[in-house]
Amino acid sequence: MSITEPAYQQCVMPGCAATFALDDVIFRCRQCGALLDVRYDWNRVEVPSSLRAFDTRSTAVGHDPESRANASGVWRFRELLPFAPLEDLVTIGEGKTVLQQADQLAAQIGVDAGRLHLQYEGLNPSGSFKDNGMAAAFTQARRLDRRRVACASTGNTSASMALYAGVTTTKSGRPMEGIVFVGGGKIAYGKLAQALDYGARTVQIKGDFDDCMRLVQQSADRINLYLMNSVNPFRLEGQKTIMYRVLEGLGWEVPDWIVVPGGNLGNSSAFGKAFAELKELGLVDRIPRLAIINAVGANTLYQLFNDRGVRFDCKCKGQKAVADHYRHMAEEGITAKTVASAIEIGRPVNLSKALRSLKMMDGVVRQVSDEAILDAKALIGRYGFGCEPASAASIAGLQVLLREKTISPSDRVVCVLTGHALKDPGVTVAYHTGDRLPAAANANPPITANADIEEIVALLEG
């Protein structure tokens, strides 16, 4: 079809590149089945000539649409995701994150002072980066006047979607309804608590995340639910802004490395698109390198990229290798298993887009053990930026990359801390109080004492 709007959707496969209208509710290319991007005709959008133009917006106050958009860490960059008019933008003040320079942590893991930064996404309204994507996806749901939204989730997607569904009404003023598919027994309590409290209809499936993902896509087709997983390309538009805020935190300078945990690979996909577009628009002069970190027990991308040599370009070879790998997993009964539940995913839906990001950002993929994740998590917590297990994969991965000298101590590195420490307190308490032998490297077990002042003084002075 011919596209006349400045924003539209396009198949990611270079050999196909079919285009679809912005408001077509479609998550796979009708020609070839690949994922879709939201695309813009930048000649028809007013984009600032320098990123510094965004500097003045972050202190916005007021309740008119423009002030509200400026107060959102997503929508104050609206010219870089221009698919909806100002009055349609959905926001609850997501993305008010501040890039943190982490010198104490840097000293512990062997990074030079001033070179390690943490992008702490736990500060979002529902406590994870997912809110960046939901602000954008709910904006599109609102434009389409959709009432029922659904997702499959390891936890944070459902928490975030439930929150936005709770506060958003449709264009015609009706409350939205959130429907969440979670795997039986697989969800951290902090996250399940949120989905229930925010009023989502929560369906616990007797299966794992990959089952939930398949079933929610089938349900969406059958009973007209609007899908809010990261196959929804509008989600990824919102998640691009995480990178804009990283640049903002560095005075608009480009870091050397972005390190991010990899689950469904939405973030990695969004980050590559963000930088490719900034480069195309002449708003940055270079692109950082990307490191995607898998857990050993959920390492599909690691195996495909490093062991089977799958790349974005070699379409046929790549698709066969991916199919072979999934068949191998099914035959051997291999399912994802890691303490980092947010990345416990065997069949990442954004695989092709993540491969494209790895190509555009000269990226690498590494895997880290659960033990390394938990030790890194305690170290991050020790210096004040507590996070959930999946987030800590970024620091554990950085440690691997430093050891193998892929990253040098003087490189400027940004690790994305994807979710808040209080999402999964059970894992944290078990780590610090557990009876693991030898004791966990960074354990900080509580001391017990009688209710006796002399004993307590003796303990604390000792």
Ligand X SMILES: *Cc1c(COP(=O)(O)O)cnc(C)c1O
Binding site for ligand X (CB under 6 A): 128, 130, 156, 230, 261-267, 342-343, 388, 390-391, 418-419
Q: Is 190 helix (H, G, I), strand (E, B) or coil?
A: helix
CA atoms within 13 A on the CB side of 119: 28
Partner in contact with 32, chosen from Zn ion, ligand X, none, beta carbon below 5 to 8 Å by kind: Zn ion
DSSP letter for each residue of 352-403? HHHHHHHHHTT-EEEEE-HHHHHHHHHHHHHTT--B-HHHHHHHHHHHHHHH
Partner in contact with 232, chosen from Zn ion, ligand X, none, beta carbon below 5 to 8 Å by kind: none
| φ and ψ of 399, to 5 deg | -60, -40
Binding site for Zn ion (CB under 5 A): 11, 13, 16, 18, 29, 31-32, 34
**Which residue's CB is nearer to Zn ion, number 3 or number 167?**
3
Partner in contact with 31, chosen from ligand X, Zn ion, none, beta carbon below 5 to 8 Å by kind: Zn ion
Partner in contact with 34, chosen from Zn ion, ligand X, none, beta carbon below 5 to 8 Å by kind: Zn ion
Q: How far is the CB of 419 from ligand X (least distance, A)?
A: 3
Instruction: Quickly count: other Cβ atoms within 10 Å of residue 74's Cβ.
Output: 30
Q: Are 170 and 176 in contact (CB under 8 A)?
A: yes
Strands annotated E in 268-347: 289-295
**Which residue's CB is nearer to Zn ion, number 352 or number 394?**
352
Q: How far is the CB of 399 from ligand X (least distance, A)?
A: 18
Partner in contact with 128, chosen from Zn ion, ligand X, none, beta carbon below 5 to 8 Å by kind: ligand X
Q: How far is the CB of 31 from Zn ion (least distance, A)?
A: 4
**Which residue's CB is nearer to Zn ion, number 117 or number 356?**
356
In the block, tokens 């089952």 appear at: 211
Q: How far is the CB of 35 from ligand X (least distance, A)?
A: 13
**Which residue's CB is nearer to Zn ion, number 14 or number 282?**
14
**Which residue's CB is nearer to Zn ion, number 2 or number 59?**
2
Q: How far apart are CA 129 and CA 416, in angstroms?
A: 9
Q: How far is the CB of 172 from ligand X (least distance, A)?
A: 31
**Which residue's CB is nearer to ligand X, number 147 or number 297?**
297
Those residues whose C-beta lies under 8 Å from the C-beta of residue 169, and which sit 6 or more positions away, are 175, 176
Alpha helix stretches (DSSP H) within 122-208 = 130-143, 156-167, 189-197
Those residues whose C-beta lies under 8 Å from the C-beta of residue 124, and which sit 6 or more positions away, are 94, 95, 96, 97, 130, 131, 132, 160
- Which of these, 131, 118, 185, 119, lies nearest to 158 by C-alpha position? 131
**Which residue's CB is nearer to ligand X, number 8 or number 234?**
234
Q: How far is the CB of 381 from ligand X (least distance, A)?
A: 15
Q: How far is the CB of 18 from Zn ion (least distance, A)?
A: 5
Partner in contact with 388, chosen from ligand X, Zn ion, none, beta carbon below 5 to 8 Å by kind: ligand X
**Which residue's CB is nearer to ligand X, number 248 or number 424?**
424
**Which residue's CB is nearer to ligand X, number 283 or number 295?**
295
Partner in contact with 18, chosen from ligand X, Zn ion, none, beta carbon below 5 to 8 Å by kind: Zn ion
Question: 453 exposed, middle or buried (CB, 10 Å; 0-12, 13-18, 19+)?
Answer: exposed
Q: How far is the CB of 128 from ligand X (least distance, A)?
A: 4
Peptide bond into 48 cis (omega under 30): no
Partner in contact with 391, chosen from Zn ion, ligand X, none, beta carbon below 5 to 8 Å by kind: ligand X
Q: Are 334 and 409 in contact (CB under 8 A)?
A: no
- Alpha-carbon separation of residue 110 from 106, 216, 293, 393, 403 (angstroms): 6, 44, 19, 17, 9
**Which residue's CB is nearer to Zn ion, number 34 or number 401?**
34
Q: How far is the CB of 405 from ligand X (least distance, A)?
A: 26
**Which residue's CB is nearer to Zn ion, number 10 or number 408?**
10
| φ and ψ of 361, to 5 deg | -110, 15
Q: How far apart are CA 429 and CA 310, in angstroms?
A: 39
Encoded tokens for 366: 């590494």
Partner in contact with 29, chosen from Zn ion, ligand X, none, beta carbon below 5 to 8 Å by kind: Zn ion
Q: How far is the CB of 210 from Zn ion (least distance, A)?
A: 23
Q: How far is the CB of 255 from ligand X (least distance, A)?
A: 19
